[in-house]
Amino acid sequence: MYIMDDGIRIHAALELPEAGKEKLPLVIVLHGFTGHMDEVQLVALAETMRSLGCATLRLDLYGHGQSGGSFREHTILKWVNNALRVIDCARGLDFVEGLYLCGHSQGGLTAMLAAGMKADALDGLLLLSPATMIPDLARAGVDLAGSSFDPRHVPETLSTWDGLILDGNYARVAQTIRVEPAIDAYDGPVLLLQGTADETVPRACAEQAAARYRDCELIWLPEDDHCYNFQLPLARKAVADWLGRQLRRRG
């Protein structure tokens, strides 16, 4: 299925639990930078969510997977707009009773920003190794997706670690983003997962975000990397335990 956002087709996969009820909670799942909806860890975690009786809606965000737009032209704010549009669409589905937002890496940062804008629409936030350092790297001009530059004179294009090309506007937009106000604007329950061996997102990013949220459970996955390649069963258990508690509280 596709959801239209300002003329761009956003590819989405809506999946229901086997034993569906008339009314269901829904979890929207966002991938990370250079990612897509069918990444192993996202598919696995979505399966876990459905085992608890939730529907899941996985997305390919602007310029990624089977969605419209180009990777080169994507920015975090374009992703945030995608997330806001999908939240609005999800709220209009007849079967949805309870809405959760989940994001990995850059998708985690996107989820944090969108949650700050739509706090009243969400019942919980699941953050998977959220890349909160991106705006700071853009402002410093240091190792942003593998590229370093003068932050006062952002080049027209940036080259990523694996040779992909980004428009310089990716960095210019990122420089304007402040994560702290978005955290402060969201007072619902938050789960934050991160591996202790994550080489992409510094440990301090998770610690600072968790400490700033009003109601956040931070779970460390021992010796795990950015995409949970070593402790995916533990990640699934953490999601099941946390989300299960949230659903029981809702009755």
How far is 149 from 67, CA to CA, in rounded Å?
29
With 0-12 / 13-18 / 19 or more C-beta atoms within 10 angstroms meaning exposed / middle / buried, residue 34 is middle
* For the chain, domain boundaries: 2-133+179-250
Phi/psi at 146 (nearest 5 deg)? 95, 0
Which residues lie below 8 Å from residue 211, measured CB to CB, with a gap of 6+?
none
Query: What pLDDT score was predicted for residue 20?
Result: 66
Query: What pLDDT score was predicted for residue 122?
Result: 97
How far is 128 from 30, CA to CA, in rounded Å?
10
How far is 104 from 126, CA to CA, in rounded Å?
9
Give the residue from 101, 131, 178, 122 showing the smallest Cα distance to 35: 131
Cα separation values, 172 from 137, 180, 238, Å: 11, 19, 36
Q: Which two tokens stand for residue 64?
A: 């990624």
How far is 209 from 219, CA to CA, in rounded Å?
12
CATH number listed for the domain at residues 2-133+179-250: 3.40.50.1820
Give the residue from 47, 49, 27 showing the smallest Cα distance to 98: 27
Cα separation values, 218 from 21, 62, 130, Å: 31, 29, 12
44 pairs with which residues across the strands?
A: none
pLDDT under 70: residue ranges of the chain: 20, 251
How far is 110 from 102, CA to CA, in rounded Å?
9
Let me know: does 81 contact 74? Beta carbons within 8 Å. Answer: no
How far is 182 from 186, CA to CA, in rounded Å?
7
Q: How do residues 99-155 score in pLDDT, each as one tens digit?
A: 999 999 999 999 999 999 999 999 999 999 999 999 999 999 999 999 999 999 999
Query: What pLDDT score was predicted for residue 21?
Result: 74
Residue with tokens 């876990």: 48
Output the pTM of the full model.
0.96
Cα separation values, 234 from 182, 230, 238, 240, 241, Å: 28, 9, 6, 10, 10
